[in-house]
Chain A
Amino acid sequence: MGLWKSLEGAFRVEIVSGDLSKTLTAIQNDNITLSDIRFSDILHMRASVSRSQFSKLQKLLQKRGEEINLLSSIGIYWPLVRLHRRPVLVIGILLILFLAILLPTRVLFVEVEGNQAVAARSILENADACGIRFFASRRDVRSEKMKNALLNAIPGLQWAGINTKGCVAVISVRERTEKPEIELVPQAGNVVATKDGIVEEITVLRGTPLCKAGQGVKKGQVLISGYTDCGLLIKVQRAEGEVFGQTFHHIEAVTPTRFVQRGTATRKKRKFMLRIGKNIINFTKDSGISDAECVKMYEEEFLTLPGGFSLPIALITETCTYTDFYGVDFQNNDFSWLELSCENYLKSTMIAGEVLQRKNLGAFGDEVYKLNGKYACKEMLGQIRYEEIINHYGS
């Protein structure tokens, strides 16, 4: 069956007649065209007749008292008729065909590879500015244009290029490797005292010691000098050494005797939002500013395709948990934690050292607890201070 015959539609029929030759003669005299005629036996014959001539053939054979049985419908016409009765399916098929033609010519996903220090977001924003964005035409993706735009906009990039793999545009970048800066350490320096104290130990590795064990020193006093008098000249060098001494500290700390604690959750409130690209659609009426007693949890679920690609569409769920607050007193007025905090603070101010003796005195005031602590410590006193180098012009 040819294409046009198939488009016209045909029926496969079985004709039962006592004299098939006369039947055939009558059919041809009535200008009815039969095709693919097969004789089953002396009484039965199968043939194909076009849709337009079927009723004519049926009438002729009924008039002649012969039997005609419809076996099947053949041709493309009949599936097309069935499709015509299902417009949604037809529209769906046409839409899929349209998308199958259109989508390969468009960029649906943009990925960035090769970046570590430079944020992918800034690269994507600059790429967007030069036309590489969602649903951009693949023909408009010009590697040279994008490279120039990116290198001008982001100084941290050394090279950039773009490749398209199907619907994915991959921006490959190479970052500029910064040369490590050579630290210029001044050659002249003294070891000076960081705090007031009494020197206990002194170890000089380089330079001239200007103090000795048992001597009291003031903050900023030079302990080891970098200048050594060699008679005819003065040798300038960076002093090195360790000076340990005894120091005394006084710390005063105040804390309230009652505090507020968060209790159990009373109720939860959920808000849903939809993120499409950079835009967020809020489904709730209020502004989204929650109360102070609310604990907010923010979850964002991006829609992903089976291939693992994330679409720029996300469902945002914001859960606010409301809790009660109640006042709590310190149990048994135990303020040992405050003493520990004071001691830890003191240690954090030391370069190296330890607390030798402590004397804490606590007193209750107007809903407060006041702690007076006196500490005797052994700690590192010396700290290097570099000399300022001034050139000939004084700059």
Chain B
Amino acid sequence: MKKDLFERVIMDADLPGEVLPGQPLVEIVGGCRVIIENHRGVVGYGCSEICVKVKDGVYKIVGSDLVLSRMTKQQLVISGMIDSVCLCRG
């Protein structure tokens, strides 16, 4: 309830969403690298598909020769030929 209120204030004030703590942030760099911050772990993996759990659901990254280049508690870097990134809410 408290978070919802905080989110509403942010939206009403027209502030960027990154300021919210724990808010997942996805960056795609040149079609060959995806950086996901504030993730909650890898739930599915393979060379052509990697599923990463976030607060709002699961990000499904589809491509070829996918590699987890770096994985820390806060950040996750996926390299390879990225075809699509989609968010499956659930």
B6 at interface, CB cutoff 8 A: no
In terms of DSSP, what is the predominant structure of the interface of chain A? mixed
A327 CA / B40 CA spacing, docked (Å): 116
A35 engages B70 (CB within 8 Å): yes
A39 engages B46 (CB within 8 Å): yes
CB distance from A321 to the nearest CB of B (A): 82
Contact bitstring B48-90, A, C-beta under 8 A = 1, else 0: 0000000000000000000111111100000000000000000
B20 at interface, CB cutoff 8 A: no
Contact of A29 among B44, B45, B73 (CB under 8 A): B73
A34 engages B71 (CB within 8 Å): yes
Contact of A37 among B40, B41, B44, B68 (CB under 8 A): B68
A20 at interface, CB cutoff 8 A: yes
CB distance from A86 to the nearest CB of B (A): 34
A25 CA / B68 CA spacing, docked (Å): 13
B67 engages A28 (CB within 8 Å): no
CB neighbours of A47 from chain B (8 A): 68
B41 engages A28 (CB within 8 Å): yes
Chain B count of residues within 8 A CB distance of the other chain: 15
How many A-B residue pairs have C-beta atoms within 8 angstroms? Tell me: 46
Contact of A33 among B40, B47, B72 (CB under 8 A): B72
Contact of A35 among B42, B44, B46, B71 (CB under 8 A): B71
B42 engages A25 (CB within 8 Å): yes
B43 at interface, CB cutoff 8 A: yes
The residue in chain A whose Cβ has the minimal distance to the Cβ of B39 is A28
Known contacts A36-B67, A38-B67; is-contact A21 B42 (Cβ 8 Å): yes
Give 9 new A-B contacts, CB below 8 A, not counting A20-B42, A21-B42. Answer: A27-B71, A28-B71, A33-B71, A34-B71, A35-B71, A37-B67, A37-B69, A38-B68, A39-B47
Q: Which 9 A-B pairs have the closest CB atoms?
A: A37-B68, A25-B41, A35-B70, A28-B73, A33-B72, A34-B71, A24-B42, A39-B45, A21-B42
Q: List 11 contacting pairs A-B, 8 Å CB cutoff, sorted by A.
A: A21-B44, A28-B71, A31-B73, A33-B70, A33-B71, A33-B72, A34-B71, A36-B68, A38-B67, A39-B45, A39-B46
